[in-house]
Structure 1
């Protein structure tokens, strides 16, 4: 897992201090899921595509370098799957 920097305003920080039971990481992930929903990205399908790309041998950095949106990730996985399938066929 990669840790990212997030700007926290003083009011956010104080509120989290008062409510230490709140999981700030969960709030962040929830906000990202809301952004995904706005863009019609299903997080379960997204996770599956990422896992498939990794199974195909791509690292997270390589995926980020080769893609910059959900549709690119779909294409990357489909192209790689097609190349693997084509490479496994034999001609008599």
Structure 2
């Protein structure tokens, strides 16, 4: 992702298929807010997205306590997670 404070748009270059598909769909629906700039033919696509339309978040790593609580909950509810064929 490339941008400067002065630019109105940011540039996103990605190989991630899910992100490419989401950006392409967004560009089709909102052409004034997003457009594809380049497709290198090797799997990377570059999009230009208006600032304020794209966000990302940083999340801290889970604490050991949280990991253990999630594991215990999953183990307690394992039957709900298994697929049953009837």
**TM-score of the pair, normalised by structure 1:** 0.24
**TM-score of the pair, normalised by structure 2:** 0.25
**Whose helix fraction is larger, Structure 1's or Structure 2's?**
1
**Whose strand fraction is larger, Structure 1's or Structure 2's?**
2
With a CA cutoff of 8 Å and minimum separation of 6, indicate the structure with the bigger relative contact order.
Answer: 2
